[in-house]
A and B are shown apart, each in its own frame.
Chain A
Amino acid sequence: MSPSPKTASKPELDFGNAWEYAAAPEGTKVAIDAKYGLFIDGEFQKPRSKRYMDTVNPATEEVLAKVAIANQADVDQAIAAAKAAFPKWRRLKPSERAKYLFRIARRIQERARELAVLETLDGGKPIKESRDVDIPEAAKHFFYHAGWADKLDYVFPGRKGAPLGVCAQIIPWNFPLLMAAWKIAPALACGNTVVLKPAETTSLTALRLAEIFQEVGLPPGVVNIVTGAGITGAALAAHKDVKKLAFTGSTDVGKELARNLAGSGKRLTLELGGKSPNIIFDDASIDQAVDGVVQGIYFNQGHVCCAGSRLFVQEGIMEEVLTRLQVRIESLRVGDPLDKNTDLGAINSIGQLATIKRYIEAGNSEGARMFQSKAKLPKQGYWCRPTWFTDVQPSHTIAREEIFGPVLSVMSFRTPEEALTRANNTPYGLAAGVWTDKGSKIFEIASRLKAGVVWCNSYNRFDAASPFGGYKQSGFGREGGRQGLLPYLELNS
C-alpha cells in the first residue's frame, strides 16, 4: 500500500478569493475554408469520392470545416502524381533540393502564429504547446533535413545512398503538423516523393502545409496530401507503386500493416505505442523530478506515444513525491486551449475521451486508488482532469496498456534491479525517464533500459537532430538525426 498524500486537500499557494482568474486568450484569427479538397500534383482538387468528413474543434464541439475523404481512385491519382514527379526530383541538384526545404522551413516560421492557432483549434492542444513546441519543431525538421540533401554521401561512410521512390506516410492526430514534418522532411531530403495521409480528426495544418508547398514553388507531385480515415490509409499502404511505408500510430494498426506488407518487398518503418517508465531514485532532485513527471504524462493531455505513464518511485521517497506531485497537479489549468495559461487542453476526440474513461474505470474496478485534480472543466467540449492512480499492481490494465490520455500509474520499488526489471517488463520499448543525481547510476540504468529514447533527469525532449523510435513492439526504424535518414535511402553495396 502506498501512503496517501499528507496535504491531500490543501494547495501550497492559496490566494482565496483575492482576485478573479484573468484569461489570456490568443488573439490571432485564422481563416478556415468551409471545405477542403485533396492536394494532388500541386493543386487542391475535389475528391473523386465526392465525400467529405467533418473536422471538429474538440474544445467547443463545433464543426470547423469539411475535409475530403480520399477513395481508391483519389489515392491512385496521388500516387501516380508522386511517381511522375520522382525522376525529376531525384535528379535535381541536391543543393537545389535543399533550398526548397529551407524555403519550406522559413515559410513555416513566418506563418507560425497562424499554424499554432489552427493546430490548437483542430486538435485541442494548449496554444502554449503548439506555439512553443509543435510549430517551431516542425520548422526545425525542415531546416535540419534541408542541410542533409547535399551531404548524403557523408551519412553512411563507405556507402552511397539512393532514394527509393514513392513513400506513403500515415500520421496520427497527436502532433499533426510536427508528424507531417517528421515524415516529409527526411523523405524529400533523400530525393523521394511523398503521399501523406493526415489523421482523420486533424487534417487542417497538413493542408496549410500544402499551401506552403505551393507558395515556395515545390514542384507539383513531390508531396501529395490525401485526407481520409483508415480505409484511405489502407489503400495507400497496399498500392503497388509505393516503395516505402512510414506509419506512426497504434501498435495494433502497425501490426496489421506489417502483415499486409509481408512479402511485398516494400520498406516499412513503424513508430507505435508505448507504456514508458519514469523512474525516480531516492537521491534525485525531487522538485525537478516531480516537474518531469508532470511534463512526462500531462504534456499534450497525455496524447503522446512516449508519455511517461508508469511512474516508479523508490520506496523511501514515495510519500514526499506523492505530496509534491499532488500540489503540482492541482496547479495545472485545464480548459480553453487558446488561453495562453492553459496547461491541459481538450481531449482530441469524443472517441478518445471514451477510451480514456474506460481505462480510468478499469483502474478503479481492478483495485487501484484514483486521484484527480479538482480543476473546473468547461461545459462544452471533451475534457479529462489530470488523473493519477496509486496502489497499482503490475498486472493492472492501467499499468500494462497504453491509455493515450492524462492518466498516470504510480508504483514503488526498492532496488535499482527491481526498478529495471519492472520498467522493462512490457512489450513496448519506446522511451524511459530516470532521475538520480548520481552519474554512474544514471548511465547504468540508462544503458539497461530497453527503450529507444532515454531521458536522464528530463522527459519529453525532442529535436530534429535526435533520433526517435522504439525497441520491441514500439516499432522499428528511427526518425530524426543521422539514423533517421536510413529508412529513406537504398545503400549501394
Chain B
Amino acid sequence: MDVSLQILASGLTLGAMYAISTAGLALVFGAMKMLNMSHGAILALGGYLSYFALTGLGLPAPVGITFAVLVCAAVGVVIYHIVARPMLQSDNFETRIFIATIGVGVILESIILEAFGPQPKPQPVSVPGSLMWGGVYLPYQNLMILGVAVLIMAALGFALQKTRIGRAIRATAQNRDAAQLMGVRIGGVYALVLAISGGLAAVSGITISSLSSLLPNMGADPMLKAFIICVVAGLGSVPGSVIAALFIGVFEAVVQYIFGVRFSFALLLILVILVLIWRPHGVFGRVQGVRL
C-alpha cells in the first residue's frame, strides 16, 4: 500500500508538471496550427525570471511569479507580431513557423545563457517540508505543483468554455475566415493565445525548476514530453492533453518502479506508436472540426 501510494504520488506530480507545460503548446496548435518550438525556451525564461525577481530584485514570491508570467506572456505577443503574423498567409505556414520558432528558441536560450551563466541555480520558489500520509512522505512542493496544475487547468477550461474571449478563441480555431466574418479580431485572438501560452510556460518553468534546477536548456526535456503528450492526446486538444499528461505521468512512474527507470521512455514511445496506429489523430483528436 505504501509503495502504491508513493508511485501514485510520484506519477501525479510528473503528470501535473507535464500538464502545465503541455496545455500551452496544445492551445496554440489548436488555435493556430502552430507548433511553437520555442515553448521550451520560454519555459526556461519563466523559471529564470522568477529567480531574478526573487533573488535579484528581492520581490516576494507572488509578485515575482506574476512578473515572470507577464514577461513570458509579452514574449508570446512579440513572437506573434514579429515571427508568426508575417507568415500567417504564406503557404506551408505550419512548416515555416515550426522552423522559425526553433530559431526563436535558440535565441532565447542564448540570451538566458549570457544573462545568467551556465551554472545550475536553485529555484527560490519552493515550499519546504512534507506530509506523512498513509505511510508515504508527500513533499509540500509536490502537492503545491499538483494544486497549481488543477487550478490552472480549471481556470483555462472555464475561460475557454464560458467567457466571450474563450468563445472567440474556439471560433477562430474552428474556422478562421468564418470567425473573422463574424467580427472576431483574428490578430488579437492569436496574440492572446500566444500570451496565454507564454504565461503557462512561465508557470511550468517555475514548477519544473523547483523540482530540479534552473539551466538554460532546462526546457528541452519538458518540450519533448509535451510534444509526445500532444500527439497522444491529439494535437490541439487542451482537455485531452491534460488527461494524457496525468496518465503518462502515472504510466512513467509505474513503469519505472516495476520494470526500471531506463524502460520508461522507451515504453512511452511504444505506447505512442500503438496509440497512433489505433487512432492516427490521437486519443482525443478529430480529423476535422472543433478542437479546444
Question: A and B: real partners?
Answer: no
